[in-house]
Structure 1
Amino acid sequence: METLECLDLSRNQLSGEIPKSLAHLNFLSVLNLSYNNLTGKIPLGTQLQSFNSYAFVGNTQLCGKPLVECPRDISNDSTTDRGEGNIFEEDEGFITLDFYICMAFGFFTGFCGVVMTLVLNRSWRDSYFNLWNNIGNWMYVTTTIYVTRFLE
């Protein structure tokens, strides 16, 4: 069954959750589970998330990627654990709200570290601005030489 390429189980009055083993069908190129009574979250895996939402249409109690949002009764049960307005699963992926918060905090800390070092340490500040002054002078001289050679 691992080499299955096409699976159409639409309008079969299936009920319950989608088996997690379906997420491991690597060769599956066509999937249609529409208009059944499937419930719960779509199992995570590279295969099931690659299909568009039309493969799952008509399953009102089904949620998770590639579907946009979960029904209200499922989201209320899931969000009481973490106290947030949206469903956040631990295995959803690397980029989450916590990732963005940590990234912003890291940028702020690094930026303030560099700026405060330059503000408080006069010799480093002079060296830093001297470096940029030398780079600017080098760029000006190099550009002038190339333009002069080009015009001759």
Structure 2
Amino acid sequence: MATINSSNQKNAIYYFVTRGNIVFEDASVVTKGLLVEYNSILNLVRSIDISKNNFSGEIPMQLTNLEGLQTLNLSHNFFVGKIPEKIGNMRSIESLDFSTNRLFGRIPQSMSSLSFLNHLNLSENDLSGQIPSSTQLQSFGASCFSGNDLCGAPLPDCTEKNTFAPEVPNGNGNEDEDADEVDWLLYASMTLGFVVGLWCFIGPLLVNRRWRYKYGYFLDGFVDRFCYFVRKCY
């Protein structure tokens, strides 16, 4: 699997079924989303399928050294971390299934160089960012990338989702900041107005005795008139 065009039968893995006196090479392999039965050319098949297990941890970087691997299926496990950046080194890969795991981060740009890739499933992960631009990746349907936070063809454009806008506070954050600033200015102006207004009224009374007397007479007269009016009404 680490060498392209390696058909050395000494390194091949065989599955044998006995039928009378004849031994046949025979195995069923899931590839490209289909169950395919191989017999005469099984020794040419390069496939790893460990799907629907309980494997966890990150995908080993050494896996990208398998330049002769044709099918890789790691779906329905608990793999975490990012897709290996050097996945583009797997030049012979035709079918790649990482669906239903816990992978996160961006899709490596090197994946766009997998020219033989004709089956891809990255759905149901936590991948994010823009799908790398290439004729190869854009040829797959949106369902191959569903269940992630991805954008770009074949999914909606990134500008529509605002996925790659500069990292600035969102609209709600700006509104909250503006509201906080308005509240602070309001309270400051109210306090200042109260202090200024109070001293504009109290200050002259403290300085000028004549004004204090006149203000006292005014209050006495006002209280008398108010009491007279209340008694008259009742």
TM-score (norm 1): 0.47
Q: Which has the higher strand share?
A: 2
Q: Which has the larger radius of gyration?
A: 2
Of structures 1 and 2, the one with the larger relative CO (CA 8 A, separation 6+) is: 1
Q: Which has the higher helix share?
A: 1
